A = this chain, B = another copy of it.
């Protein structure tokens, strides 16, 4: 590969697509050579995202009819709707087997294609590819990601829940049958499709839970938590929508195992993430705010004592479009290409 990697963003007209472009424009070794968007094919990127007006970017094209070998991508970021993704990537990797892929959809996150079929209501379209796909939560699976050709970028809700919980589960420090994750997300997590329920006037000045008891993100949580625990773990998980653009905050209720105190849980997290550039554990008793990670690739984690004896409250916050999606994806690319992991991701949070 030349000094700069040739990069394609498939699905550039959505929010994770524009976030990728925003960060890649300032990544010292990235060169954006392909942008796709089905309905907006033929338009300039500035027509769908005016903030890019001052920048030179390739015109949006449709995927249909692209010659992937000719495209010569070093890296493809795939931010397409689920199910479509499996078909597109199957074709892409057949034609251009040296291209590395970071997929931001849910299509390759579940190792068990049976579980996929159950949660998504149709057969997996690329079961062979699924076998090589690596689950891309960098802080946990760094080693496999470095060697991967196809990385399944984690979901935003699940990243926000996994980063604080996995070290505690791995350390066998918490009761696995009493975990409650109460999650709150900004509106960009719902994507850019025009739906009545996402209109400003439906969403502002209000708050609500949704998908109570049956959200698709649960499959991903089940897989990763069970893997870490070495047994089946099923957590209670409730997502809510906050009238804000960016950010996820998870309030997590746990019970320490064998008398582990909240302070001990905090110490485990502090140690686990001591050298991580993108996970920051706050002093004991402090809890994070989503606004303080906005636009950055950071996750902030806090731990406080519950007044109910033996229980602790763990709170984590990240920007769903950055560490919860596109920043994480670039972090994966950096690992896959052997570059410094923080390259292009050092932007400080934008507050206020």
- Which positions in A face B, CB cutoff 8 Å? 15, 18, 22-23, 25-26, 49-55, 178, 180, 182, 184, 186-188, 190, 192-196, 198-210, 212-214, 218, 234-236, 238, 240, 242-247, 249, 251, 253, 280, 282, 285, 287-296, 298, 300, 302, 304-308, 311, 313, 315, 317, 346-352
Contact = CB atoms under 8 A, between A and B. Distances in A.
Nearest to A15: B352
A350 B22 contact: yes
Given A53-B292, A192-B201, A347-B347, 5 more contacts: A15-B352, A54-B280, A204-B204, A212-B287, A236-B313
A245 B201 CA distance: 5
B26 A200 contact: no
B251 A238 contact: yes
A117 to B, nearest CB: 18
Contacts of A54: 280, 298
Contacts of A348: 22-23, 25-26, 51-52, 55
Contacts of A182: 180, 182, 251, 253
A208 B298 contact: no
A246 to B, nearest CB: 7
A199 B196 contact: no
A84 B282 CA distance: 35
Contacts of A205: 204-205, 244-247, 291, 294, 352
Nearest to A350: B295
B207 A245 contact: no
Nearest to A346: B26
A26 B307 CA distance: 41
30 contacts: A15-B352, A23-B348, A50-B288, A50-B300, A51-B296, A52-B348, A53-B280, A182-B253, A194-B196, A194-B198, A198-B200, A200-B203, A201-B245, A205-B205, A205-B247, A206-B290, A207-B244, A207-B249, A208-B291, A209-B313, A210-B287, A212-B304, A212-B315, A213-B305, A213-B307, A236-B313, A240-B251, A242-B242, A294-B350, A295-B295
Contacts of A294: 51, 205-206, 350
Given A54-B298, A213-B304, A213-B306, A352 B208 contact: no
A250 to B, nearest CB: 10
Contact of A194 (B195, B204, B280, B292): B195
B201 A352 contact: yes
A194 B195 CA distance: 5
Nearest to A24: B348
Contacts of A244: 204-207, 243
B289 A208 contact: yes
A186 B352 CA distance: 11
Nearest to A352: B201
A308 to B, nearest CB: 5
Contacts of A302: 212
| 6 tightest Cβ-Cβ pairs between the two chains A and B | A206-B291, A208-B289, A51-B292, A51-B349, A201-B352, A212-B304
Contacts of A347: 26, 347
